[in-house]
Chain A
Amino acid sequence: MNRVTLTDIPLLWRAQSLASVQSSCVPTGYEELDRALGGGWPAPSLIELLCEEYGVGELRLLLGLLRQEPSPLDPPVRKVVLWLSPPFELHAVALAQYRLVPEDHWVCSVSRPADLQWAMTQALRSGACLAVVAWAQRLKTAALRTLKLAAMTGRGVGVLFRPMSEARIASPATLRIALRAQAPALDLSILKIQGRRPSIVRITPTDVDQSPGE
């Protein structure tokens, strides 16, 4: 008699494949923040940064996330970082100074919110993107949920910059941080983090490359 085991059911999602989804952390480069986040930026995930001003060190925070470790394959496989609707022009020289490769950075300006959501979902789902960084005004909860699912499918990180007023509305994002500049430091209040306790961290953004791979 044929015995059917659980492994014969094709639609069954095994725990080991789930474990690889809930995976790793990418060090942020700031010790206090790493401690608060439990190791670093979660990946794959959807991260929401609530921020009113530009130029307070918000991109320097993400450097650890945008840097890709050299791949063992030959020719090296490079993933893409997609910037959707950035408020100013991204400066290629600055990217190169922080040891990022400017060619891997694609910039796309999208005007309609629906287009932005579509582009971000496609990019995250495709699996070709290391991270997608987007500036969005209004997004519905259902849209955020779609984005998070897409990030999990494509195993990338979605970073959403949103205005501070959105803090009142609950969000399905993995991590939610409100940035407040307190010169010369930067206050990060972690509003939501999956599996950990919210807290407030104060860091000083520096120009010094804080990655361990120096």
Chain B
Amino acid sequence: MATAAQLLLFDVPAQTIASKSALKSVELSPSPTSAACSPRRSQAWLALHFADLALAAAYQGVSPAQRATLDATPWAVVEEDRLKHVVACNERAWQYGVRPGHRMNAAIALCASLTLVARRMRGEKQLLERVATDCLKYTSAVSLQPPNEVLLELRGSFRLFGGPTRLIERIQSDLGALNAGLQLALAPTARSAQWLARASTTPRVCLPRELADTLSTLPVASLAWPLPVELQLARFGITTIGDLMRLSRKDLARRIGAGPVRELQQALGRTSWLHRGWSTPPSYRDRVVLDFEIETTSLLEKMLKRPLARLKRNLIESDRAIDELDLTLKHREGATKLALRLQQATADTDHLAGLLHEHLDRLVLRAPIREVLVDAPRLLVASPHTRSLGMDPATRTDPRSAPELKARLLEQLQSRFGTHAIRALSVRPDHIPERAQRVSSTLQSSRSAQVPAHLPRRPFWLLREPKLATREYEAGEFQIASSPETIEAEAWESGSVRRAYYRARMRDGIECWIFRDLSTRYQWFVHGLFG
């Protein structure tokens, strides 16, 4: 996933602290002038700290039946190491005295009815990534901080969402359903927001001018620094960040290492902190396990509405489009695959549903379906079109651009008749008539050659194979109406051809393009019709 995430540089400008009014003024009245008067945009970072991420991931990993029993009993998540430490526990277990860090035996001694669930590291990672992807709807600057934090830069989103308070409330209600112990804090620098979120269970908002004061009250113990550093600082008699800030930076770095000191500088906005930006995953996958077997395609179509709606929501939230969709219909044995290839990337799943209808119309199910996989192998950046505000009065529909209409028609025809059924014509530079044209099933690539101006008229209709017409010629049915045009090709030009072409009229008014084969005993052929 890290390879896909592009590197975004969020650097904290040093002027942030100096321009005090920026965040405050937005909170009171969102006016565009306040942003304009600060020389560089100040930033507002929201840190999401999930204290009970392990608990939520483990809860989501078990079956629904087990979840009901977990709800009613005290339970805890244990690490899969030798001593089986408790990582997290629920409220009931907490009342019995079970705490994170206890060994399994100690926890069971405190609470005999304790249910133990193994920790799912992969589940936690996936859950955090899902949260980060979800957060892309609030802002495009999202950064994942493993193991259990997500940072959002929200300065540009306040107006859209109605101010910081509203936005924080909305994020809280959106992510509250996870039950992952969400703690959040808004601060002018990413590091300070992270620290504040770790320290307090209630949402905190820290204004730029209060940054130093707020940070100085934070206890060192809440920073999740390495234990030796924490103990060393405790020996110095330092308990809060304020104590730490009074010390000389150089000496401090010599004693406890450069890392914590740099973090302190970052929190105060004196140095920048670069982190990896989170972007949407490069592909989309969905899996629907059916409770019953589906035997008809019409039922399948109805069933597919919900996964498609999910896909649409996902695409619109992440501002993506797809040009390829694979459907795998799993049977008891084997699977049927359906592939939709689009000419133009789209996020319009109604169009996809229409194309699927054509595919499913042709499909004969060889066995009942038990499971459906929806897979979009790549998500492309959507390029929204400019649409007119009103409708076209004649057709009363949303007017679309011509290339889009063309692409849609092609997709429609291709999904019904197959990819190679629709062919576009183009001219090839070759003097043999049957080789002078190319029929390509890929419609964009081919580029037509120029036709020489002096070339005699060619017929509209070309027979697939020249038709032998020696007998008709000898019966005098053709009335030659032009001088001969000789076309020759040697054997090394893929087949030897020696022909003399004439334009001839038959008695019933049909105009033909006939030729005399000069290489084989003067036989006559019809090769085309002047339609």
- CB within 8 Å for A181 and B458 given contacts A20-B394, A93-B433, A129-B409: no
CB-contacts of A114-138 with B (<8 A) = 115, 118-119, 122-123, 126-129
Could you give, for residues 455-481 of chain B, a 1 whenever the CB lies within 8 Å of some chain A CB and a 0 otherwise? Answer: 101111111100000000000000000
Q: Which residue of B lies closest to A18 (CB)?
A: B394
Question: Does A90 contact B425, Cβ atoms closer than 8 Å?
Answer: yes
21 A–B pairs (Cβ distance < 8 Å), ordered by A? A17-B393, A20-B394, A53-B510, A54-B461, A55-B459, A56-B510, A59-B460, A79-B402, A86-B461, A88-B464, A91-B437, A91-B462, A94-B458, A102-B424, A103-B425, A103-B448, A106-B410, A108-B417, A119-B417, A128-B406, A183-B505
Main secondary structure of the interface of B (DSSP, over half): mixed
Question: Does B529 contact A155, Cβ atoms closer than 8 Å?
Answer: no
Q: Is B380 an interface residue (CB 8 A)?
A: no
Q: Is B395 an interface residue (CB 8 A)?
A: yes
Question: What chain B residues lie within 8 Å of A108 (beta carbons)?
Answer: 413, 417, 421-423
**Bound Cα distance A103, B461 (Å):** 17
Given contacts A77-B401, A95-B425, 5 further A-B contacts (CB under 8 A): A58-B531, A88-B463, A90-B461, A93-B455, A95-B460
Q: Is A8 an interface residue (CB 8 A)?
A: no
Question: What chain A residues lie within 8 Å of B146 (beta carbons)?
Answer: none
Question: Does B402 contact A92, Cβ atoms closer than 8 Å?
Answer: no
Q: Is A139 an interface residue (CB 8 A)?
A: no
Q: Is A87 an interface residue (CB 8 A)?
A: yes
CB-contacts of B507-530 with A (<8 A) = 507-512, 528-530
A178 to chain B, nearest CB (A): 14
Q: Which residue of A lies closest to B453 (CB)?
A: A97
Q: Is B349 an interface residue (CB 8 A)?
A: no
Question: Does B531 contact A77, Cβ atoms closer than 8 Å?
Answer: no
Question: Does B439 contact A107, Cβ atoms closer than 8 Å?
Answer: yes
Question: What chain A residues lie within 8 Å of B427 (beta carbons)?
Answer: 92-93, 96, 102
- CB within 8 Å for A80 and B406 given contacts A17-B394, A97-B455, A127-B395: yes
Question: Does B531 contact A55, Cβ atoms closer than 8 Å?
Answer: yes
Task: Find the residue from B446, B460, B463, B509 having the highest chain A CB count within 10 A.
Answer: B460
Question: Does A128 contact B405, Cβ atoms closer than 8 Å?
Answer: yes
Q: Select one of A87, A93, A181, A207 contacting B451, CB under 8 A.
A: A93
Q: Select one of B401, B416, B426, B530 contacting A118, CB under 8 A.
A: B416
Question: What chain A residues lie within 8 Å of B422 (beta carbons)?
Answer: 106-108
Question: What chain A residues lie within 8 Å of B417 (beta carbons)?
Answer: 108, 110, 115, 119
Question: What chain B residues lie within 8 Å of A92 (beta carbons)?
Answer: 425-427, 436-438, 448
Q: Is A176 an interface residue (CB 8 A)?
A: no
Contact-size category for A: 35 or more
- CB within 8 Å for A123 and B409 given contacts A16-B393, A57-B531, A91-B433: yes
Q: Is B390 an interface residue (CB 8 A)?
A: no
Could you give, for residues 9-20 of chain A, a 1 whenever the CB lies within 8 Å of some chain B CB and a 0 otherwise? Answer: 000001011001
**Bound Cα distance A127, B392 (Å):** 12
Q: Is B64 an interface residue (CB 8 A)?
A: no
A5 to chain B, nearest CB (A): 17
Could you give, for residues 71-87 of chain A, a 1 whenever the CB lies within 8 Å of some chain B CB and a 0 otherwise? Answer: 00000011110000011
Q: Select one of B413, B451, B461 contacting A119, CB under 8 A.
A: B413
**Bound Cα distance A60, B461 (Å):** 11
**Bound Cα distance A115, B422 (Å):** 13
Question: Does B462 contact A89, Cβ atoms closer than 8 Å?
Answer: yes
Q: Is B148 an interface residue (CB 8 A)?
A: no
Question: Does B459 contact A94, Cβ atoms closer than 8 Å?
Answer: yes
Q: Is B408 an interface residue (CB 8 A)?
A: yes
Question: Does B509 contact A183, Cβ atoms closer than 8 Å?
Answer: yes
Question: Does B509 contact A181, Cβ atoms closer than 8 Å?
Answer: yes
A72 to chain B, nearest CB (A): 13
Question: What chain A residues lie within 8 Å of B446 (beta carbons)?
Answer: 103
B228 to chain A, nearest CB (A): 66
Question: Does A55 contact B529, Cβ atoms closer than 8 Å?
Answer: yes
- CB within 8 Å for A128 and B408 given contacts A55-B529, A93-B427, A105-B425: yes
- CB within 8 Å for A78 and B459 given contacts A93-B437, A115-B416, A122-B409: no
Q: Is A182 an interface residue (CB 8 A)?
A: yes
Question: Does B424 contact A105, Cβ atoms closer than 8 Å?
Answer: yes
Question: Does B530 contact A55, Cβ atoms closer than 8 Å?
Answer: yes
Question: What chain A residues lie within 8 Å of B334 (beta carbons)?
Answer: none
Question: Does A88 contact B529, Cβ atoms closer than 8 Å?
Answer: yes
Q: Is A186 an interface residue (CB 8 A)?
A: yes
**Bound Cα distance A59, B461 (Å):** 9
Question: What chain A residues lie within 8 Å of B394 (beta carbons)?
Answer: 17, 20-21, 155
Q: Is A213 an interface residue (CB 8 A)?
A: no
Q: Is A109 an interface residue (CB 8 A)?
A: yes
Q: Is A167 an interface residue (CB 8 A)?
A: no
The 6 A-B residue pairs whose C-beta atoms are closest, nearest first, are A181-B509, A55-B529, A59-B531, A128-B405, A92-B437, A183-B509
Q: Which residue of B lies closest to A44 (CB)?
A: B394
- CB within 8 Å for A77 and B505 given contacts A97-B451, A106-B422, A181-B510: no
Q: Select one of A14, A109, A122, A184 contacting B421, CB under 8 A.
A: A109
- CB within 8 Å for A55 and B451 given contacts A80-B406, A118-B416: no
A126 to chain B, nearest CB (A): 4
Q: Is A101 an interface residue (CB 8 A)?
A: yes
Question: What chain A residues lie within 8 Å of B495 (beta carbons)?
Answer: none
**Bound Cα distance A90, B446 (Å):** 17
Q: Which residue of B lies closest to A126 (CB)?
A: B409
CB-contacts of B241-296 with A (<8 A) = none
Q: Is A199 an interface residue (CB 8 A)?
A: no
